[in-house]
């Protein structure tokens, strides 16, 4: 990117210097033009795609209306100078109004914006970048989602996230060190052993101290969602208008639904918090609380579901024991669920 800008600047200056008689005026024009074009290109990176498309569509409509007005103005009894002045003013005014109104409506996602309608109908692909934070890299499930084909587009890893991973991997705490190294291994696997397009973004925000805040700033700048497992980051990002893809929420939504009256077998591993309760776990980590199964710790019991509680940490299933399904010590590999769906 820097090389391309430098090449354009040098080319513009050279063309201006060589192509204009006298040299110096052309050199000034070339420098000013190059600076203006590069400044416009940098600014375009911060403009929302919908606003950009809206501005283009609005400007085009304004130019068409200006041409129509020019055709009508020729029928009036005007001098050549008057006609040229009027047409110039109308052209600039309508193009400017079209650009501003189109950009505003496009940023608001108005229904008439053609690009948005094409994206909504699946006729044109929208942005598919996804920004990864430290927690989702260390978690590791991102690799499984990529291998299963559920993740499309480029995976963007900011340089400050990679730096945070390195700090965790160099920690004096053995647990943190193991987590950091796991994250680096997973990232390396995504680059070398998967079909994912992983890019390292060197952008930084020197005036922003916290990594979470930098992630939000990058998400807003690139108009891309952040993939995370961090509950607090998700809440802050949503307040500021950034999109979040939370893998924990995805995992919770994929857990099987249980209805009151269904029966299942569950292995009791410990006592519950209330008198007479036993607690077991499904293969996906869902906690199952069984009334009347406190004395069946180490056994598989049959139970009938009475209610399901959805919490921020996941689902909890409550039920009552119906019978003892197996002898002590026989831990099942899967929970058996029956009942009409």
C-alpha–C-alpha distance, residues 291 and 57, integer Å: 64
Q: Give the model confidence (pLDDT) of 59-115 as tens digits.
A: 888 788 878 877 777 777 666 676 677 777 777 777 777 777 776 766 555 444 455
User: Considering only 108-112, 128-132, 293-297, which range has the smallest mean pLDDT?
Assistant: 108-112
Task: Find tokens 């409509």 and name the residue.
Answer: 61
Predicted pLDDT of residue 32: 80
The CATH code belonging to domain 130-253 is 3.40.50.1010
Predicted pLDDT of residue 339: 44
- 293: tokens are 């199964």
Strand partners, 291: 277, 320
**Residue 279 pLDDT > 90, yes or no?**
yes
Task: Find tokens 């204009």 and name the residue.
Answer: 20
Q: Which CATH architecture has domain 263-338?
A: Beta Barrel (2.40)
Q: Give the model confidence (pLDDT) of 20-38 as tens digits.
A: 655 666 677 777 877 877 7
**Residue 283 pLDDT > 70, yes or no?**
yes
Task: Give the confidence band of 56 by pLDDT, cuts at 50, 70, 90.
Answer: confident
From the number of C-beta atoms within 10 Å of its C-beta (0-12, 13-18, 19+), residue 89 rates as exposed
Q: Is the pTM of this model over 0.75?
A: no
**Residue 329 pLDDT > 50, yes or no?**
no
The answer to whether the Cα torsion of 5, 162, 184, 241 is positive or negative is negative
Task: Give the confidence band of 241 by pLDDT, cuts at 50, 70, 90.
Answer: confident
Same CATH fold assignment for domains 130-253 and 263-338: no
From the number of C-beta atoms within 10 Å of its C-beta (0-12, 13-18, 19+), residue 5 rates as middle
Question: Higher-confidence residue: 277 or 84?
Answer: 277
Q: Average pLDDT, stretch 317-339?
A: 63
- 234: tokens are 């998700």
Predicted pLDDT of residue 148: 84
CB atoms < 10 A from the CB of 285, how many? 12
Q: Which residues contact 162 (CB under 8 A, 6 or more apart)?
A: 187, 200
Residue 201 backbone phi and psi in degrees, to 5: -95, 120
User: Considering only 9-18, 101-110, 276-285, 304-313, which range has the smallest mean pLDDT?
Assistant: 101-110
**Residue 123 pLDDT > 60, yes or no?**
no
Distances (CA, A) of 87 to 62, 75, 84, 172: 13, 13, 5, 73
pLDDT over 90, % of the chain: 18
Q: Which residues contact 163 (CB under 8 A, 6 or more apart)?
A: none
Predicted pLDDT of residue 57: 78
Domain boundaries, the chain: 2-118, 130-253, 263-338
**DSSP for 27-67, written as a single string:** HHHHHHHHHHHHHHHHHHTTS-HHHHHHHHHHHHHHHHHHH
Q: Average pLDDT, stretch 293-299?
A: 89
The alpha carbon of residue 191 and the mean position of all alpha carbons in its chain are separated, in whole angstroms, by 19
**Residue 288 pLDDT > 90, yes or no?**
yes
C-alpha–C-alpha distance, residues 321 and 36, integer Å: 75
Of 246, 237, 195, 239, nearest to 218 by C-alpha is 237
**Angle between helical axes of 211-222 and 159-169 (0-180°, round to 10):** 150
Determine contact, residues 205/181, Cβ cutoff 8 Å.
Answer: no
Average pLDDT, the chain: 78
3-state secondary structure of 191: helix
**DSSP label at residue 296:** G
Residues in the chain: 341
């Amino acid at each position: 990117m820097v090389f391309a800008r430098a090449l354009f600047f040098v080319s513009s200056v050279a063309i201006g210097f060589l192509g204009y008689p006298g040299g110096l005026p052309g050199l000034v024009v070339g420098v000013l033009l190059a600076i203006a074009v590069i400044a416009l290109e940098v600014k375009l990176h911060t403009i929302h795609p919908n606003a950009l498309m809206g501005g283009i569509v609005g400007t085009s409509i304004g130019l068409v209306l200006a041409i129509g007005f020019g055709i009508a103005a020729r029928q009036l009894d005007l001098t050549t100078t008057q006609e040229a002045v009027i047409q110039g003013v109308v052209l600039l005014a309508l193009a400017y109004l079209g650009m501003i109104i189109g950009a505003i409506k496009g940023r608001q996602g108005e229904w008439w914006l053609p690009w948005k309608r094409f994206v909504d109908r699946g006729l044109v692909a929208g942005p598919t970048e996804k920004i990864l934070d430290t927690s989702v890299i260390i978690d590791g499930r991102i690799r499984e989602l990529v291998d299963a084909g559920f993740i499309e587009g480029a995976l963007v890893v900011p340089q400050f996230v990679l730096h945070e991973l390195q700090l965790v991997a160099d920690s004096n705490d053995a647990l943190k060190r193991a987590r950091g190294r796991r994250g680096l291994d997973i990232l390396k696997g995504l680059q070398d052993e998967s079909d994912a397009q992983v890019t390292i973004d060197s952008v930084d925000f020197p005036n922003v101290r916290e990594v979470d805040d930098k992630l939000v700033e990058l998400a807003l700048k690139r108009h891309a969602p952040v993939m995370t497992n961090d509950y607090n980051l998700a809440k802050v990002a949503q307040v500021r208008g950034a999109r979040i893809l939370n893998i924990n929420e995805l995992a919770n939504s994929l857990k099987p639904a249980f209805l009151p009256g269904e029966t299942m077998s569950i292995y009791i591993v410990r006592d519950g918090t209330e008198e007479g309760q036993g607690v077991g776990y499904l293969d996906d980590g869902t906690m199952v609380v069984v009334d009347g199964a406190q004395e069946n710790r180490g056994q598989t019991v049959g139970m009938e579901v009475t209610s399901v509680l959805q919490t921020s940490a996941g689902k909890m299933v409550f039920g009552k024991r119906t019978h003892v399904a197996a002898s002590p010590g026989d831990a099942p590999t899967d929970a058996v669920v029956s009942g009409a769906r």
